[in-house]
Amino acid sequence: KINIIPEDIGRVLMNIYDNAFYAVSEKSKKNVPGYDPTITLTTKSEGNKIQIIIRDNGVGIAKKYVDKIYQPFFTTKPTGTGTGLGLSLSYDIIKAHQGEIKVDSAEGEFTEFTIELLYD
């Protein structure tokens, strides 16, 4: 069993999904031959924690932005498209649940978020 507030974790997942859908949509617009937009969700138990891994094969995050993505109001989306609060709120929610959220990305290739939550 895991002690969470389901609505909060749902909000985190929706923020990450929204970003993933945007990323694969943007890459689709580039008409890359053979590109198949894909978003995967994987869960696993490791030790005393669970992992939720969300990976997309969209536009990725430039290295210069990776350290900034959890800052409030930071966004790489065009004006009017994003508020820059989704990942900041997600980070705060996961920390409030004594968890961790990590990102791995390669610009133009993929983005993968890993959420780790402890369980009893």
What is the residue-averaged pLDDT of the chain?
Answer: 96
Average pLDDT over residues 73-99: 94
Q: Which residue has the higher pLDDT, 81 or 39?
A: 39
Are 14 and 93 within 8 A, CB to CB? no
Neighbours of 90 (CB within 10 A): 24
The pLDDT value recorded for residue 79 is 85
Q: What is the arrangement of strands in the sheet containing 39-46, beginning at the earlier edge strand?
A: 39-46, 49-56, 110-118, 100-106
The answer, yes or no, to whether residue 1 has pLDDT greater than 90, is no
Percentage with pLDDT > 70 across the chain? 100
Are 58 and 107 within 8 A, CB to CB? no
Average pLDDT over residues 75-101: 94
The answer, yes or no, to whether residue 48 has pLDDT greater than 90, is yes
C-alpha–C-alpha distance, residues 27 and 41, integer Å: 19
Query: What are 73-81's contacts with CB under 8 Å, separation 24+?
Result: 77/22, 81/22
